[in-house]
Amino acid sequence: MTFLRGFLSAVVLVAGTIIGSGYAAAADLPTTKGPPPPPPSWWSTITVNGEIDAGITWNPDNPPSGMNWGSLFTDHANEPMFNQGLLTIQRPIDSSKPQYDVGFAVQVMYGSDARFVHYLGECEYCINSLYQVALVEAYVQAHTPWVFPGGIDWKIGQWPTLEGAELIESDLNLFYSHSYIFNYAEPFQDTGVLAIAHVNPTIDLYASVVSGENTSIGFPYGDNNASPAFEGGVGLNNLGPGGAVTVLATTHIGPENPFFTGGVEPNGAGQVPAFYAGCGGFCGNSGLRYANDIVITWKATDKLTLTLDGNYTRDDALPATTYGAAGYASYQTPLDWLKINGRAEVYRDNGPSTFVGVFPGNFDFANVEHGYVNTALFGPPTTYFEVTGGVNITPTIPQSIPFLKGVIIRPEVRYDASLNNTTPFDLQGRAPGSVGTKSDQLTLGGDVILKF
C-alpha cells in the first residue's frame, strides 16, 4: 500500500513538471538528388514498448465489503491499485500493399487487471495475490494478396476479441473505469485462427474459429468445455459525408459454460471437480451463448468523435440474457494536451441467472469460468444506468527525460444507479449471501499512465 501511494505521488509529480517544446531549423536542400534510401529490413520494424498504469477509485459510501459494485478492473474502493504493467513486442504487417508480409505480437501483463484477462490454462493459478501475471496476446499474423483487391490478413494464436468499443490496454480507452458491456457482456480474448478479408475499401469481413471466451487449448484446463466457437462479423469503412463513419458488427457464438461445476479449487491446486452425472442441467455443451455487438463511430468534426456501442447477449444454458447500449463523446480542445470525454450507458442484466457482480477472491473470476466453487457475488436482475465524465491530460514530454514516451492522466467522476429499484450497491460483505443497501453509487477515480 505504501509503495503504491508513493508510486502514484511520484508519477503525478513527474507528469506535472513536464514542459517544453522543440524547434529545429530547416536544413538546406541538397543541390543534387541522391539514390533513395533502402527499404527498412524486416527486423528493423520490430518494436518493444512498455506501459505502467496505476490509479484509485474513491467511493464516499466506504462500502463495508471494500468493493465497488459492478466494476471489475476498478473493483477495490478507496485503495490505490497498480493496474497494469505491460510489455509489448510486435512487428505489424502492412495490409495496404499487394505483397506478402509476416508479423507477430506478444503482450504480457503484471498487475491487478491480470485477474480478469487470463486465458484458462495459462498461469491463472500461478500467483495467489491481487497482483498477477497474464499473457494478453501472442500471435503470428500474415498478409496474403489473395482473392480480394485488398487481400486477406490472418492471425493464428491468441488475440483480444473483435467485440466492443473498449479494450484491455489502458491507454486505448477514454476512461479509467469500464462500461458494463465491456466488463460482463463480451469475451476479452480468443484463441484460434482469424481471417480478415479486405473486400474493397468499404467492406471488411471477419471470420474465426476459436476455442471459446478467454480459453486456450486443451480440456479441461485450457478449454472448460472442449468445444469450439465462432467469432466474426462485418466492418464498414468510409461511410457518410466525408467518409467519417465506421461500423463494426460482430458476433461470438459457442458453448461457453464449464462442463462441470461444484468442485473445490484450493489455492490453485489444479483439481478437476467431478462431472455432473448426466450433465445435470449444466453441461457445457448443452446450450450456446450468443454475444452480438455493434460499434458505430462518427468523426463528427476534426475535434469531436461520437461512438455508440450496442450489445445483446443470450446464454441458453444458464439461462440468461443481457442487453444495453453505451454512448461516448470525446472532444479534443484547442489545448493539445486536454481532451474532454463523456459516457452514458443503460445495461439490462435480465437473468434469471445474472452476470453483474463482484469477484472478491483472487481466483474467483477464473473459478467461475472453470466451474469451481468461488466466493463471487452476483446481483438480482437489474437495469443499470451509468454516466461518466472525465478528461485526458497528455502533457508534452521533454527530450531530457529518457525512455518516457508519453503520459496520460485520466481523472473521472462516475454515477451508477439501478433503474428498477434493486439495491446492489454499498455491498455489506464479501461472504456468500452478502447484500447491498443502496440503489445508486457515486465514485471519483483516476489513473496515471506512463508509456515507454
Question: pLDDT for 60-119, tens place per residue?
Answer: 999 999 999 999 999 999 999 999 999 999 999 999 999 999 999 999 999 999 999 999
38-67 residue pLDDT tens: 778 889 899 999 999 999 999 999 999 999
Confidence of residue 267 (pLDDT cuts 50, 70, 90): very low
Q: Please give the model's pTM, rounded to 2 decimal places.
A: 0.88
Instruction: Give the residue with greater pLDDT, 225 vs 236.
Output: 236
Q: Do residues 418 and 440 touch, judged by C-beta distance below 8 A? A: yes
| pLDDT given at position 132 | 98
pLDDT band at residue 270 under the 50/70/90 scheme: very low
433 vs 382: which has the higher pLDDT: 382
The enclosing H or E element of 135 equals strand 132-144
Cell 461500423, residue located: 247
Residues 425-438, mean pLDDT to the nearest whole number: 94
The 10s digit of each residue's pLDDT in 360-379 is 999 999 999 988 888 999 99
Helix (H) or strand (E) holding 233: strand 229-239
Pairwise pLDDT comparison (146 vs 30), residue with the higher score: 146
d(CA 424, CA 65): 12
> Does 160 sit behind a cis peptide bond, omega within 30 degrees of 0 on the bond before it?
no
Q: How far is CA 73 from the centre of its chain?
A: 9
pLDDT-wise least confident of 26-30, 373-377, 416-420, 444-448: 26-30
Residue entry with cell 473483435: 162
The average pLDDT across 267-296 equals 63
CA 253 to chain centre: 19
Average pLDDT of span 121-147: 97
Q: Is the pLDDT of residue 280 over 60?
A: no
Read off the pLDDT band of 399 (50, 70, 90).
confident
Q: How far is the C-alpha of 27 from the C-alpha of 395, rounded, in Å?
A: 28
Mean pLDDT of the 3-22 span: 41
Q: Collapse the DSSP code of 370 into the 3-class scheme (helix H, G, I; strand E, B; otherwise coil) and give the result.
A: helix
- In the predicted structure, residue 389 carries a pLDDT above the cut 90: yes
Assign 11 a pLDDT band (cuts: 50, 70, 90).
Answer: very low
Mean pLDDT computed over every residue of the chain:
89
Lowest mean per-residue pLDDT among 143-147, 215-219, 267-271: 267-271
Q: Measuring CA to CA, which residue among 356, 331, 333 is closest to residue 343?
A: 331
pLDDT for the residue numbered 33 = 60
Write down the pLDDT at residue 226. Answer: 84
- What are the structural domains of the chain? 2-13+48-451 (2.40.160.10)
